[in-house]
Structures are given as C-alpha cells and as structure tokens.
Chain A
Amino acid sequence: MSSDTVQKLMALAARQFKAELDKLRPEDDLFEALGIDSFQAVELISELEDEFDVELPDYELQGVKTFAALAAKIDKRR
C-alpha cells in the first residue's frame, strides 16, 4: 500500500465527513474514526472510485475496516 494513497484517502474522508485529519491514523477503523453509518460508507465508496479512478466491487471490501486496508484495495485496482 502506498502511503500516498492512504493519506489521500484519509484527507478525502476527513473533508467529506468533517473529521479532523490530524486525528486519523491508517490503522483506525474508518467507521469509528469518521463516525459514519452504512449509508455514508456507501457514498464514500463512490467518492473514492471517482477520486482514484478505480472500481471497488463490494465483495472485495468484505472485512475491510481500516483506512490502510481500504487504501491497499484501492492500490490493487490501480
């Protein structure tokens, strides 16, 4: 996983959900760190696909909980 991807991912998520970027860590559970529900997570996937120009099939995101794990999935698709 590139640190660039996880930083961009956290920056986008922080901007979208008005979280404090400097409090987010790659190993954080993104639901808990951002305080988002499943609807917002669904929106986030669309925003990420747009930002990183990838497609992220839901079934490949099963078990993905942290920013780092999500960034790794994004990198595999780039």
Chain B
Amino acid sequence: MIDFSESDGVGELVLRAEPCNEIGTAMVAALEGFLDGLDVDRIHTLILRSSVRGGFCAGADLRELQAGLASRPAAEHEPALRAFLDRIHAVMDRLDMLPVTTVGVIHGVCFGGGFELALTCDVLIAEKSARFCFPELRLGIIPGFGGIPRLRREVGDAVIRDLLLSGRSISGKRAQALGLCSQVVGRGEGLEAARALASQSGKFDDYARRACKKFIKKLPAEELAQEKELFIELALRPPLLAALTKFVESTDLRPYLP
C-alpha cells in the first residue's frame, strides 16, 4: 500500500495502491502506521509521491464508502462516518504539522481526498500531467478530509468557490499560477526536482528550519472541525448513497470525468 525509505536525511513515502491510491480504511491504517514509526529526528525532508501510473491519488475509496453505507442500517451511518473521519483528520493533521519539510510530487490524478492529502504538504511540485480537482459536489457532499480549510490557507476565496462550485479540474500549470504549486516540471521529472529541493533544505540549520515551519504553517483547527460537521450532515442525506451506487454500478470507461 505504501513504502518508506530514508537516505541522507531525506525520507520518501511512496503510495503504491492500485488503481490510484484510493483512501479507505487500509490506506488510513497504512498512513497511521507510517506516522507512528517515523523518527522525525532522522530526516529533514519528507517527499510524498505515488508510484502508480494513474496519478497521485484519486481520493476517497468510494467503493468502500458505498459498501459501508449500503450494508449498515441508517442509524449506524453517522458513528461509522465520524469514526473514519476522525482517523483521517488525525492523519492529515499529523502530516501537515510534521516538523520536517514535506514535499509532494504530483502527477496525473490528484482528486478529492488526494488533493486534500497533497494540501498537507509544505511544497508541491507538479508534473505536467497533474490534474487537481474537488469533485465532491457531484456526489452531494463537500471535501471532508480537511481540504477546504487547507485550500483556504493557500489561495483566495474566489479560487475556492471556482474549484468547489464548478467541480472543474485544473492543470499543474494553472495550480502554479494560483500559487498552489511551487514548480511544474516535465513528465517523470518531479522526483528529481523534489530531491534537489530536499538537498537544498538539508543545508539549512535544523533548528532554524523547524522553527521557521512552525512559525509559518498553522493548523486551521476551528475550520477543520466545522468542515467535518458539514461533511457528516451532507453525507447522511440520500444523494450521497445514490451517487455512490451509481458510480459503483457504472460501466462507463470514464467515471472520473463528469
């Protein structure tokens, strides 16, 4: 599901779950295990990337979510959703607040929960193929893994309204123009660019680098909690299960396109 390696103070966390690193209970457990075992004193930079062809991450595991909702009585939906959200929020918050510099390398699909995961990174490097999207309104919900507060931390409200209310996807180049990505590089060149950045970051005084990050990056805790509650409210309405069932039962070749 994930791999972690470490060399010269640089950690590399690789998501490798086919088809596109969907975030369900298995991925959350893998990330929890990674975070529990991570020794932040051994690294100065963490690179987060995907090794699957489709992209960085296609978001929440919609098939697991559909199965979980369809197999449980309605009364159990809220506690089950809340338990999962609490876990994924904790993972996202821990990644967000790691004392080391985090660099996300994005190629291909970076949708929904995948976009939310990317937004925990300090710096994003997009390959030309990258595509960012918050398609949640198509399912009758909003991003629920902390994406809206983290996006608001990075860009203006007009951009958030555009992305959320249209559900359209944007390229890495557009994301760079909006200030979301620091660099756009060619296909397959993201890792090299991230390693070069990590090498530079490793030259800085460790205490100063960590103090700098702590000063410039804050957790939008209040809004994260508000987003979680709105997500649960919307997820408990009938449109989500109907949309998920349609998605799961679809034989369309292009389910990730509207």
A50 engages B54 (CB within 8 Å): no
Residues of chain A within 8 A (CB-CB) of B258 are 58-59, 61-62
Cβ of B66 < 8 Å from any Cβ of A? no
CB neighbours of B254 from chain A (8 A): 31, 38, 41
Q: B255 an interface residue at 8 Å Cβ cutoff?
A: yes
A42 cross-chain contacts in B, Cβ below 8 A: 55, 108-109, 131, 169, 256-257
| B257→A57 contact, CB < 8 A | no
Give per-residue flags for A30-43: 1 if the beta carbon is below 8 A from chain B beta carbons, else 0.
Answer: 01000001111111
The yes or no answer to A47 lying at the interface (CB within 8 A) is: yes
Kindly state whether residue A20 has any CB partner on chain B within 8 Å. no
Contact B130 A46 (CB under 8 A): yes
State in angstroms the CA–CA spacing of A61 and B20 once bound together. 23
> Do B171 and A57 touch across chains, with their CB atoms under 8 A apart?
no
A44 CB to nearest chain B CB (Å): 8
Give, as a whole number of angstroms, the nearest-CB distance from B165 to chain A: 11
List the B side residues contacting A31 at CB < 8 Å. 253-254
B residues within 8 A CB of A75? none
B218 an interface residue at 8 Å Cβ cutoff? no
> If the complex has contacts A43-B108, A47-B128, A47-B129, are A58 and B55 also in contact, measured as CB distance less than 8 A?
no
Question: Which chain A residue shows the least CB distance to B19?
Answer: A39
Interface residues of B: mostly helix, strand, loop or mixed?
loop
With a cutoff of 8 Å between Cβ atoms, the chain A residues found around residue B109 in the complex are 39, 42-43
B53 within 8 A of A: yes
Shortest A4–chain B CB gap in Å is 22
* A38 B53 Cβ-Cβ under 8 A: no
Question: What is the distance, in angstroms, from B149's C-beta to the closest C-beta of chain A?
Answer: 24
Q: A50-B171, A58-B168 are in contact. Are A43 and B129 (CB under 8 A)?
A: yes
Identify 16 residue pairs between A and B in the complex whose beta-carbon atoms are under 8 Å apart, listed by A's number: A31-B253, A31-B254, A37-B54, A38-B253, A38-B255, A39-B20, A39-B54, A41-B254, A42-B55, A42-B257, A43-B108, A43-B131, A50-B173, A58-B133, A59-B258, A61-B257
Using a CB–CB cutoff of 8 Å, the interface residues on chain B facing chain A are 19-20, 53-55, 58, 107-109, 128-131, 133, 166-174, 253-258
User: A41-B254, A46-B128 provided; 20 other pairs, C-beta below 8 A?
Assistant: A37-B54, A37-B253, A38-B253, A38-B254, A39-B19, A39-B20, A39-B109, A40-B54, A41-B256, A43-B108, A43-B109, A43-B131, A45-B171, A46-B129, A47-B128, A49-B173, A50-B171, A55-B170, A55-B171, A58-B169
